[in-house]
Structure 1
């Protein structure tokens, strides 16, 4: 068991009687604690902070790279001229499984993270992700048959599941509060960078014999970098306390996360003491309720926030809108079918720019304003797409250009809101005592809803038509907007312990 925390009288009084402490939402937004004020004043060692972000974020880059590379790899693999195999004549079911096997693996990885992620810890889970990525890449790019390809795709998906569960928590728990939003949102930017790199690799090797092997094989280098980086980086001090390590051990790793400014061990010990006190108070109520604690009391609202954001991120139309993106651009005269990969690259750059806007403003504007504004705009875009496809002739220039503008508005609004901020909130809102399993449930919700939407979307579109399909997505957008307005708080600039205190009034 961890040593008894050394806590200031102020903090002891604050934590000692949680039942009488019910701060209002307004008070918590307006009045940062002494701990937060001190942390805001601390200088940041940008070298170590950048590394604490960069190596875990490679897990997201590899996720995005797989999305972009697979778009070209499946075309290369199925072509008699470029496959370089005797088993290129894949059926629709086989090619669909080759694409979706990674998603099935990600679901399994999220389930594994739920089952034993807390025992592994953030650092070792990211190491496991790097191993999965590396082994899967070798299996896939050397595949001598369809079965080996699918096995490699599933193992790669396992890496995605572990990485997307552990990376937000690791970054949130090891980086300073005032740049936490910037860095976790930037992780989403790394996913988009990965998508772009995958598209570029596809464009480069699409005409080469066996080009799909090169597309997949290029992911080996970042997989090795992820593993090497996590071998060198420290474990999350907060997870160490949760796992039962002493404050001395947690303090040593916390000093490493502060870089040159961690030499003042006394100040770091004070931070660790506050972490330990908050964690122990949270853990007592969680241990008493067991697994049911995830769905009750102070944990229910953050779990609802995390899972609902992950759900709405996937069911507000992104697959449908992006599926028809190339067709919309072709009708506008921007590209022929042969130039579809270039259109994808251009759209990817636009996604990256809009993600960068969210990254640069999330710690100044705040999470709630970006979510509310972005979801409002993407809902307007969905209404416009619904109207165009319901009431205007498909060949009409007005319909074509309205669709182009609505598409760009949707993509931009999504990348400035749901895209980065959903994962950011998952990294922030969960109390430490349940952060691992709660984040795993959120990841399961994300990948599960993604899989279901991808599965049923073609049938829905065939039976209802694009106009009504977009109208349904617009309705879901309105529901998500109301949900965000009512349950999502502002967490900008708060320590993780302060965010945890937001949920005390729900006990």
Structure 2
């Protein structure tokens, strides 16, 4: 016998010693463990201080900060993409029924709601960086737990833990990036989160294809997520804290140094921004009553509306359903998986283009243009799928329409929603507001995912996609009526706009 099985076997065959001897043994082992723990804790603290000291003397490059700040999105995307391939093997090896398969997929969504609701709001108290590090640890534990799960319930618990980290990251990262970036780069920097999400999905597709031929391949698929989680933790140790959070903690000198680094030493711009931050930070941190106040009402409508529409326009279901669409229109299974990878590559390229132009085009124009393109693409997909079994041309049109739909989503609603919920809420409740919008987004994701199969059975693919297309055009009305422009405006200027809207609403109501 070798390895763990040998150890377990030897323990099973061993004779138990008297309780007193076992007690002394475990007492001694406990003392030794405490010494080890103290030693490695001190070593970790020393290493952390040395790293911080080194990077105080040598400024961390802004590219490094933005990359590791957004890296949590890769974990988010990887898990979103990997489960579609892994579930095919999980259900066979763990002998899962249909409802159990549904819970394996949806457990992460449940965990994401919990993570966004619990961990996200705490960032206003403990800071964005600390909770980002905590999220990477939780993700690491959840990924390994999922990979070694021996049965259904262990896998569900591990997936919920994993989901908590995903939800926390979705609430923390847009806020963190928005608070670090200069106003003229905030859209580009904040949209890096969505680029990382799409990159994670692509890596998941490649991993699924690579391990599809192995009996225990699904364990490798799920376990690989632990690698970027560990990288995020190590890189996160060097990340600066948000300057907005530092000012709220009366650590103005540290905030000034972070701003100088992120603004390439532009002292004049830093002093103006620091003064604006100090003015807003003087306002006492708010809670739920502040979130639902008249002052925050426009931001809350934007956050909730964008979070819901991003999901009900069918983005995740279309992405998940893509391989099935390919097989329905005549692709073989292997060709469909390769085509899925091709879509992943295309997704990353289009999102990268969106990142490059994010601060050159108004957010509202991107949302409206994206909704028009997605809606038309869904209508074409719906029509062509009805004839794809009879016509090769119709099948090709369906695939082209699917690709165009994904392109419009990846370039507009995918990144813009996360950018805007990270910037519209005022400083004193930004963590809470962003978390609330993330909870709504994950809740909508869960509802759409759970209702998609029965709606598909009842309406059929064509009619269901028409429904999603109609919702795309409804979103145009919402954006035109409720979403104000934020491009090239500082977070403090956006907050001032909220106060102006509060005054306008008061005048409209009272006449003075």
Instruction: Please say if 1:72 is aligned against 2:85.
Output: yes
Matched, 1:97 2:67: no
RMSD across aligned positions (CA)? 2.3
Q: Which moved more, 1:469-478 or 1:113-122?
A: 113-122
Counterpart pick for 1:410 among 381, 385, 405? 405
What do residues 240-289 of structure 1 show as CA deviations (whole Å, max 9, x unaligned)? 333xx22xx13313413533967687874553222111333xx36x75xx
Q: How does 1:408-447 map to 2 (within 5 A)?
A: 408-447=403-442
* Residue in structure 1 matched with residue 377 of structure 2 by the alignment: 381
Q: Decide which moves more: 402-411 or 322-331.
A: 322-331
Q: Which deviates further from its counterpart, 184-193 or 118-127?
A: 118-127
Pick from 136, 146, 152: which aligns with 1:140?
Answer: 146
**Whole-Å Cα distance in 2 between the matches of residues 147 and 257 of structure 1?**
47
What's the offset of the Cα at 1:363?
Answer: 0.9
- Aligned pair in 2 of structure 1 residues 308, 193: CA closer, same or farther (>3 Å)? same
Q: Which residue of 2 aligns with 1:251?
A: 253
Within 5 Å, which residues of 2 pair with 1:474-485?
474-485=469-480
Deviation of 1:496 (Å): 0.9
> Is the partner of 2:352 in helix, strand or coil?
helix
Distance 1:279 1:311, change over 3 A: same
Aligned twin of 2:325: 328
Contact 1:52 1:174 (C-alpha < 8 Å) held by counterparts: no
CA contact 1:388–1:399 (8 Å) conserved in 2? yes
Which residue matches 1:310? 307
Q: For the residues of structure 1 that align with 2:200 and 2:184, how far apart are their CA atoms?
A: 26
TM-score (norm 1): 0.82
2:187 equivalent among 181, 193, 218: 181
Q: CA deviation at 1:364?
A: 1.0
Deviation at 1:330, TM superposition (A): 3.3
Structure 2: distance between partners of 1:388 and 1:259: 53
Cα distance between partner residues in 2 of 1:263 and 1:471: 52
Give CA-to-partner distance per residue, 1:27-83, whole Å, 9 cap, x none: xxxxxxxxxxxxxxxxxx99622122111212110111112222222223334xxx5
Q: 1:114 to 1:64 in 2, by over 3 A?
A: closer
Within the alignment, does 1:292 sit opposite 2:298 as a pair? no
Q: Kindly tell me: are residues 267 and 448 of structure 1, through their superposed partners in 2, closer, same or farther at Cα, counting changes over 3 Å?
A: closer
What is the alpha-carbon distance in structure 1 between the residues aligned to residue 335 and residue 395 of structure 2? 18
Q: Is the 8 A contact 2:350 2:410 kept in 1?
A: yes
Q: Which residue of 2 aligns with 1:357?
A: 353
Alignment of 1:264-279 (within 5 A): 268-279=270-281
Rate the CA distance shift 1:319–1:218 in 2: closer, same or farther, 3 A. closer
Give yes or no for the alignment of 1:50 onto 2:48: no
* CA 173–260 in structure 1, closer or farther in 2 if over 3 Å, else same: closer
C-alpha separation in 1, matches of 2:178 and 2:263: 18
For residues 353 and 262 of structure 1, the distance between their equivalents in structure 2, rounded to whole angstroms, comes to: 28
| Cα 1:162/1:324, change in 2 over 3 Å | closer
Describe the shift of the 1:241–1:261 C-alpha distance in structure 2 as closer, same or farther (beyond 3 A).
closer
In the TM superposition, what is the alpha-carbon distance from 1:336 to its structure 2 partner?
0.3
Q: Tell me whether 490-499 or 158-167 shows the greater mean CA deviation.
A: 490-499
**Which residue in 2 is equivalent to 1:113?**
119
Superposed CA offset, 1:157-205 (max 9, x none): 1100111111111111112222211111121011110011111111111
Which structure would you say has the larger Rg? 2
**Residue 403 (structure 1) shift:** 1.6
Rounded to whole Å, the distance in 2 between the matches of 1:315 and 1:267 is 41
Alignment partners' CA distance in 2, 1:460 and 1:407:
20
The count of corresponding residues between Structure 1 and Structure 2 is 445
Distance in 2 separating the partners of 1:426 and 1:195: 22
Contact 1:262 1:268 in 2 (8 A): no
Which TM-score applies when normalising by structure 2?
Answer: 0.81
CA distance in 2, matches of 1:311, 1:219: 27
Specify the alignment match of 2:489 in structure 1: 494
Unaligned runs of 5+ in 2: 1-57, 503-512
Mark the CA change 1:395 to 1:320 in structure 2 (over 3 Å): closer, same or farther.
farther
1:21-60 correspondence to structure 2 within 5 Å? 48-60=61-73
Residue 63, structure 1, aligned to residue 76, structure 2: yes
Which ranges of structure 1 fall in alignment gaps of 5 or more residues? 1-44
Report whether the alignment pairs 1:124 with 2:137.
no
Q: Could you say if the C-alpha distance between residues 271 and 338 of structure 1 is closer, same or farther in structure 2, counting changes exceeding 3 Å?
A: closer
- Specify which of 223, 226, 230 is matched with residue 224 of structure 1: 230
Distance 1:94 1:369 in 2: 42
Structure 2 residue aligned with 1:20: none
Structure 1 residues 150 and 254: alpha-carbon distance in aligned structure 2, compared to 1, 3 A threshold: farther
Counterpart of 1:366 (choices 334, 359, 362) is: 362
Which region of structure 1 is more displaced relative to structure 2, 442-451 or 203-212? 203-212
Following superposition, the deviation at residue 119 of structure 1 comes to: 1.8
> Kindly tell me: are residues 204 and 502 of structure 1, through their superposed partners in 2, closer, same or farther at Cα, counting changes over 3 Å?
same
